[in-house]
């Protein structure tokens, strides 16, 4: 009954805290809720929670609390906390509870979050998790469990996160990965944490406490099978060798550790261990008689490392064979090894088809195994069988046409004949010594088979020896900082209610779009939609300019999707005239930027961003000799003027996406938008924008189609009642100036005559207006004369007329 009451109280308190963190905006309530959650993790005398309540929270609610914090990492209340409060209350929850649950939540968050400042925050906590030796606590917590308390699936997931942490962080952070997460630093740290767990296990066993090494053994095997046995066992093997020298408890712990390694990972552990130990005695103390009780270990030690693989040094052979010969129970395996190695050496097919390096490796194994055995062991072995193998193998080697194989056969034959001592006869061959034969003969030198074990000294450092950092010049970081990632910027513009954060995000948005075009393409349409509907509710300085500049940058970065969205929304319902004018301005500015030549620096960045994956290998495209000669001539030629290199027009391929969608629905009135009716201001701006698109499309392949469509559109409004709309002269001039001359007579021959009459009428009206302007200017000189109107200047039409005058005179 008491446990039920405790569970109910904890559930109600935790639920209330979760509700506060999800919905409250009061920083004092948030801090109170975080401190309440912390109280279930504190084990000191000042803790307000009982041991039963703490156990219930750790078992049931701790993971949910961490997942809630990660899901609300973008909340405004987190950024309102001071740095000290964030470190104590937010970060502290990840560093004070059950380490296995915290590590799983942190690694899942790293895999799910986008490259933003939120990801940096989670990465910082993960780095603190490793620095504060939480991995050792994780391993030790599993050592204390007599039986597994979690599911096999959860344990397998945890093993995967621990062993593959450098891979997970490298795939996510890429070039921004932390030094502690690199394999050369992480795996030695993991080895140190496993040694700490083993040392605490030895202390617990001396105190009479039962422990389990299953999880530590699984961690060791998982890391080794992934190819990191060298860096892990390079740290563990010397320490285990030193600790097992005179401590039987350490020996039993090491034997139990190797026994608990799963069979599928045993080969990787033993392969790394024989390369990391200092000698056969150290290997015997660490693994004991594992080869007698574990078939997989026996196969690896007595067969695979000697006959199937040949990449190891001679020292590894000495360690393996010395380990088998060191104990009376293991010596029968050494005799078995001698038989199998001699048979492999004498196999004629192997001599003909295996690499010379493997034959040299087997020859070394045969010499070392034979010189390791005592005379009694030789007599116990089948002498006739060995003699038959020796004679057949020597004959096969001497018959080979490869000099290196014949020399190996001579050296082995001389030694085996002297060791068998058959009727006192010994073989003696004449051969020139080379590096291989000298290496084989060195194995037969007195004492060569007995390698003394090196003495190792371990130095333990403490925190007192570390030099403290100089923190006198540290500056306090402000509560709000500009976002460094584009997705951060988008999330702030969507969800944040903090005016300062919104302003900083809006100020940084354009530069973030232009710096990272790949990230901009992923969210270009979504961000354009947010900016188009965004209002200046915080009275931000330069709001309209900042919003417009960001939308232009998005249109340039991801032209076709953003242009399609904006042109579609131009004729949609429930948009104000201001928003429709904003769309036209953004499209016009983006088209102008795309039509401008790209500078060298900008062109390099664009080309590297768009063709990074398709860049050919330099050797696949050799420079032609004519190009080399031409470059030399150009370098020695003096020129009075420098011709600027031609650059591609980025606007020409996409001009149709800007132009034609705006002509699609202009004659379809809507409830809130009547382009040909009352909304003549938007119509005039639309005509001007279309004329600009036509002007920028000069020499483009689609210019002829655009010109025909634009003339058909403006012809219907050239006599519009509003003066602003009647200013279609710019659009007409852009058509004649941008269309190819050969297309004017073919595509718009009928419109040429009508346009000529219309332009002549405009010129006549302009002359009358200029006459009245002269009269008014004369009257202005008189005393008390009225001021002349501002629009009395000479029309620019006279200059434009000369450009297409030949087309007027068509008879």
CA atoms within 13 A on the CB side of 748: 28
Query: Which of 107-111, 754-758, 764-768 bottoms out in mean pLDDT, i.e. has the lowest?
Result: 764-768
Query: According to the model, what pLDDT value does residue 642 have?
Result: 63
Q: Evaluate if residue 457 carries a pLDDT over 70.
A: no
Query: According to the model, what pLDDT value does residue 422 have?
Result: 57
Average pLDDT over residues 786-801: 37
Q: Are 511 and 504 in contact (CB under 8 A)?
A: no
Q: Evaluate if residue 619 carries a pLDDT over 50.
A: no
For 288-326, the pLDDT digits (tens) are: 999 999 999 999 999 999 998 888 999 999 999 999 988
For residues 113 and 225, which has the higher predicted lDDT (pLDDT)?
225
Query: According to the model, what pLDDT value does residue 424 have?
Result: 59
Query: According to the model, what pLDDT value does residue 383 have?
Result: 62
Query: According to the model, what pLDDT value does residue 722 have?
Result: 67
CB atoms within 10 A of CB 360: 17
For residues 76 and 209, which has the higher predicted lDDT (pLDDT)?
209
* First and final C-alpha spacing in the chain: 109
For residues 733 and 766, which has the higher predicted lDDT (pLDDT)?
733
Query: According to the model, what pLDDT value does residue 323 have?
Result: 93
Query: According to the model, what pLDDT value does residue 425 have?
Result: 66
Distance CA 30, CA 38 (A): 12
Distance from the Cα of residue 451 to its chain's centroid: 47
How would residue 384 be classed by pLDDT, with cut points 50, 70 and 90? low
Helix (H, G, I), strand (E, B) or coil at 422: strand
Q: Are 99 and 134 in contact (CB under 8 A)?
A: yes
Query: According to the model, what pLDDT value does residue 684 have?
Result: 85
Map 236-297 to HEC letters: HHHHHHHHCCCCHHHHHHHHHHHHCCCHHHHHHHHHHHHHHCCCHHHHHHHHCCHHHHCHHH
Q: Evaluate if residue 40 carries a pLDDT over 80.
A: yes
Q: Evaluate if residue 463 carries a pLDDT over 50.
A: no
Q: Evaluate if residue 234 carries a pLDDT over 60.
A: yes
How would residue 118 be classed by pLDDT, with cut points 50, 70 and 90? confident
How would residue 2 be classed by pLDDT, with cut points 50, 70 and 90? low
How would residue 377 be classed by pLDDT, with cut points 50, 70 and 90? low
Query: According to the model, what pLDDT value does residue 186 have?
Result: 95
CA neighbor of 241 nearest in space, from 286, 209, 275, 207: 286
How would residue 96 be classed by pLDDT, with cut points 50, 70 and 90? confident
Distance CA 95, CA 125 (A): 8
Query: Is residue 803 packed enough to be buried (19+ CB in 10 Å), middle (13-18) or exposed (0-12)?
Result: exposed
Average pLDDT over residues 341-367: 88
Q: Which runs of consecutive H residues, i.e. helices, occur in 637-740? A: 655-659, 680-696, 703-715, 729-738
Query: According to the model, what pLDDT value does residue 304 have?
Result: 93
Query: According to the model, what pLDDT value does residue 262 have?
Result: 94
Distance CA 646, CA 632 (A): 21
For residues 796 and 763, which has the higher predicted lDDT (pLDDT)?
763
0.85 surpassed by pTM? no
Distance CA 728, CA 717 (A): 8
Query: According to the model, what pLDDT value does residue 470 have?
Result: 59
How would residue 738 be classed by pLDDT, with cut points 50, 70 and 90? confident
Q: Evaluate if residue 640 carries a pLDDT over 50.
A: yes
Give the single-character DSSP code of 467: P
Range of 88-92, 315-319, 480-484, 755-759 with top mean pLDDT: 315-319
Distance CA 11, CA 437 (A): 77
Query: Which of 336-340, 439-443, 512-516 bottoms out in mean pLDDT, i.e. has the lowest?
Result: 439-443
- The torsion defined by the Cα of 164, 166, 167 and 172, in degrees rounded to 10, comes to 130
- DSSP lists the bridge partners of residue 425 as 422
Q: Evaluate if residue 403 carries a pLDDT over 50.
A: yes
Average pLDDT over residues 225-247: 94
Angle of CA points 770, 776, 778, to nearest 5°: 105
Q: Evaluate if residue 177 carries a pLDDT over 80.
A: yes
- DSSP lists the bridge partners of residue 422 as 425
| Residues in CB range of 220: below 8 A, 6 or more apart | 194, 232, 257, 261, 269
Q: Are 510 and 546 in contact (CB under 8 A)?
A: yes
CA neighbor of 281 nearest in space, from 308, 318, 252: 318
Query: Which of 457-471, 566-580, 664-678, 682-696 bottoms out in mean pLDDT, i.e. has the lowest?
Result: 457-471
CB atoms within 10 A of CB 55: 14
Query: According to the model, what pLDDT value does residue 657 have?
Result: 94
For 330-339, the pLDDT digits (tens) are: 988 988 898 8
Q: What percent of the chain lies above the pLDDT cut of 70? A: 80
Give the single-character DSSP code of 175: G
Q: Which two tokens stand for residue 174?
A: 């890429």
Cα 797 to Cα 697, 700, 760, 762, 792: the distances in Å are 21, 25, 10, 9, 14
Cα 494 to Cα 482, 487, 488, 619, 727: the distances in Å are 15, 11, 10, 49, 40
Q: Which two tokens stand for residue 583?
A: 């769309």
Sign of torsion, CA 138 140 143 146?
Answer: negative
Query: According to the model, what pLDDT value does residue 381 have?
Result: 53
Distance CA 758, CA 700 (A): 27
Q: Are 163 and 217 in contact (CB under 8 A)?
A: no
Query: According to the model, what pLDDT value does residue 290 have?
Result: 94
Ramachandran quadrant class, 114 (left: phi over 0; alpha: psi -120 to 50; beta: rest): beta
Q: Which runs of consecutive H residues, i.e. helices, occur in 347-420? A: 348-353, 356-372, 375-380, 383-398, 403-420
Distance CA 590, CA 689 (A): 12
For residues 430 and 347, which has the higher predicted lDDT (pLDDT)?
347
How would residue 803 be classed by pLDDT, with cut points 50, 70 and 90? very low
Q: Are 220 and 261 in contact (CB under 8 A)?
A: yes
Distance CA 629, CA 168 (A): 51
Average pLDDT over residues 563-579: 89
For residues 446 and 622, which has the higher predicted lDDT (pLDDT)?
446
Strands (E), 554-664: none
Distance from the Cα of residue 317 to its chain's centroid: 41
Q: Evaluate if residue 617 carries a pLDDT over 70.
A: no
Q: Evaluate if residue 730 carries a pLDDT over 80.
A: yes
Distance CA 777, CA 775 (A): 5
Q: Evaluate if residue 670 carries a pLDDT over 90.
A: no
Distance CA 366, CA 345 (A): 8
For residues 620 and 520, which has the higher predicted lDDT (pLDDT)?
520
Q: Are 318 and 449 in contact (CB under 8 A)?
A: yes
Average pLDDT over residues 563-591: 91
CA neighbor of 306 nearest in space, from 353, 348, 361, 372: 361
Q: Evaluate if residue 710 carries a pLDDT over 80.
A: yes
Q: Are 279 and 268 in contact (CB under 8 A)?
A: no
Query: According to the model, what pLDDT value does residue 478 have?
Result: 53
Average pLDDT over residues 719-742: 76
Q: Are 506 and 550 in contact (CB under 8 A)?
A: yes
Query: According to the model, what pLDDT value does residue 784 have?
Result: 45
Query: Which of 178-192, 511-525, 715-729 bottoms out in mean pLDDT, i.e. has the lowest?
Result: 715-729
Residue with tokens 């109170």: 32
For 520-545, the pLDDT digits (tens) are: 999 999 999 999 999 998 899 999 99
Distance CA 446, CA 635 (A): 72
Average pLDDT over residues 114-122: 87
Q: Which two tokens stand for residue 649?
A: 């027009």
How would residue 646 be classed by pLDDT, with cut points 50, 70 and 90? confident
Phi, psi of 717 (to 5 degrees): -120, 15
Query: According to the model, what pLDDT value does residue 446 have?
Result: 57
- Mean pLDDT, the chain, as a whole number? 81
CB atoms within 10 A of CB 177: 15
Query: According to the model, what pLDDT value does residue 749 have?
Result: 72
For residues 370 and 605, which has the higher predicted lDDT (pLDDT)?
370
Q: Evaluate if residue 18 carries a pLDDT over 70.
A: yes
For 140-170, the pLDDT digits (tens) are: 999 988 666 778 899 999 999 999 999 999 9
């Amino acid at each position: 009954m008491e446990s039920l009451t405790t569970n109910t109280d904890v559930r109600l308190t935790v639920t209330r805290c979760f509700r506060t963190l999800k919905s409250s905006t009061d920083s004092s309530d948030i801090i109170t809720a975080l401190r309440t959650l912390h109280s279930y993790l504190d084990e000191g005398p000042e803790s307000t929670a009982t041991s039963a309540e703490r156990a219930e929270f750790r078992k049931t609610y701790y993971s949910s609390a961490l997942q809630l914090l990660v899901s609300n990492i973008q909340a405004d209340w987190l950024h309102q906390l001071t740095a000290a409060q964030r470190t104590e209350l937010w970060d502290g929850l990840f560093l004070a509870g059950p380490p296995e649950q915290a590590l799983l939540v942190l690694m899942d968050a790293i895999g799910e979050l986008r490259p933003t400042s939120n990801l940096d925050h989670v990465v910082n906590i993960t780095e603190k998790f490793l620095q504060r030796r939480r991995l050792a606590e994780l391993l030790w917590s599993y050592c204390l469990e007599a039986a597994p308390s979690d599911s096999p699936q959860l344990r397998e997931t945890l093993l995967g996160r621990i062993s593959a942490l450098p891979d997970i962080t490298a795939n996510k952070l890429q070039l921004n990965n932390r030094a502690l997460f690199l394999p050369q630093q992480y795996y030695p740290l993991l080895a140190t944490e496993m040694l700490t767990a083993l040392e605490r296990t030895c202390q617990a066993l001396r105190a009479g406490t039962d422990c389990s090494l299953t999880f530590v053994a699984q961690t060791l095997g998982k890391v080794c099978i992934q190819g990191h046995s060298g860096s892990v066992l390079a740290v563990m093997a010397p320490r285990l060798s030193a600790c097992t020298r005179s401590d039987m408890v350490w020996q039993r712990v090491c034997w139990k550790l190797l026994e608990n390694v799963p069979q599928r990972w045993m080969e990787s552990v033993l392969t790394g261990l024989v390369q990391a130990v200092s000698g056969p005695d150290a290997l015997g103390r660490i693994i004991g008689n594992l080869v007698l009780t574990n078939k997989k270990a026996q196969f690896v030690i007595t067969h695979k490392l000697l006959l199937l693989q040949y990449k190891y040094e001679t020292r590894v052979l000495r360690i393996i064979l010395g380990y088998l010969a060191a104990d009376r129970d293991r010596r029968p395996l050494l005799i078995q090894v001698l038989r199998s190695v001699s048979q492999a050496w004498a196999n004629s097919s192997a001599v003909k088809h295996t690499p010379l390096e493997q034959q040299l490796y087997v020859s070394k194994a045969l010499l070392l195994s034979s010189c390791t055995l005592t005379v009694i062991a030789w007599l116990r072995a089948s002498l006739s069988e060995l003699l038959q193998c020796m004679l057949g193998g020597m004959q096969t080697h001497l018959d080979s046409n490869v000099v290196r194989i014949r020399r190996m056969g001579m050296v082995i034959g001389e030694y085996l004949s002297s060791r068998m001592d058959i009727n006192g006869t010994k073989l003696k061959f004449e051969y020139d010594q080379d590096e291989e034969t000298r290496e084989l003969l060195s194995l037969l030198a007195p004492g060569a088979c007995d390698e003394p074990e090196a003495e190792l000294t371990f130095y333990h450092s403490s925190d007192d020896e570390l030099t403290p950092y100089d923190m006198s010049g540290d500056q306090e970081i402000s509560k709000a900082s500009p976002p460094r990632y584009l997705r951060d910027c988008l999330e702030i513009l969507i969800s944040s209610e903090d005016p300062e954060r919104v302003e900083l995000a809006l100020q940084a948005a354009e530069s973030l779009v232009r710096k990272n075009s790949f990230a901009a393409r992923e969210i270009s349409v979504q961000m354009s939609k947010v900016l188009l509907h965004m209002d200046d509710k915080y009275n931000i300085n330069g709001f309209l300019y900042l919003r417009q500049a960001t939308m232009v940058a998005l249109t340039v970065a991801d032209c076709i999707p953003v242009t399609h969205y904006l042109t579609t929304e131009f004729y949609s319902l429930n948009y104000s005239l201001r928003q429709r004018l904003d769309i036209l301005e953004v499209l016009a500015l983006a088209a102008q930027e795309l039509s401008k030549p790209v500078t060298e620096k900008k062109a390099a960045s664009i080309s590297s961003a768009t063709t990074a994956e398709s860049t050919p290998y330099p050797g696949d495209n050799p420079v032609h000799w004519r190009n080399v000669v031409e470059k030399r001539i150009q370098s020695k030629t003096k020129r009075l003027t420098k011709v600027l290199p031609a650059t591609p027009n980025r606007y020409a391929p996409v001009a149709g996406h800007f132009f034609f969608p705006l002509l699609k629905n202009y004659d379809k009135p809507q409830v809130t938008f009547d382009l040909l009716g009352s909304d003549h201001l938007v119509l005039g701006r639309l005509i001007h924008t279309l004329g600009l698109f036509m002007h920028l499309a000069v020499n483009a392949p689609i210019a002829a189609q655009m010109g025909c469509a634009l003339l058909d559109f403006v012809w219907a409004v050239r006599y519009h009642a509003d003066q602003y709309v009647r200013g279609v002269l710019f659009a007409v001039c852009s058509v004649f100036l941008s269309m190819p001359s050969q297309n004017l007579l073919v595509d718009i021959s009928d419109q040429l005559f009508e346009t000529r009459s219309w332009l002549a009428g405009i010129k006549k009206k302009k002359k009358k207006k200029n006459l009245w302007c002269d009269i008014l200017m004369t009257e202005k000189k008189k005393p008390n004369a009225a001021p002349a109107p501002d629009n009395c200047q000479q029309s620019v039409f006279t200059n434009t007329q000369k450009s297409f005058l030949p087309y007027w005179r068509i008879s």
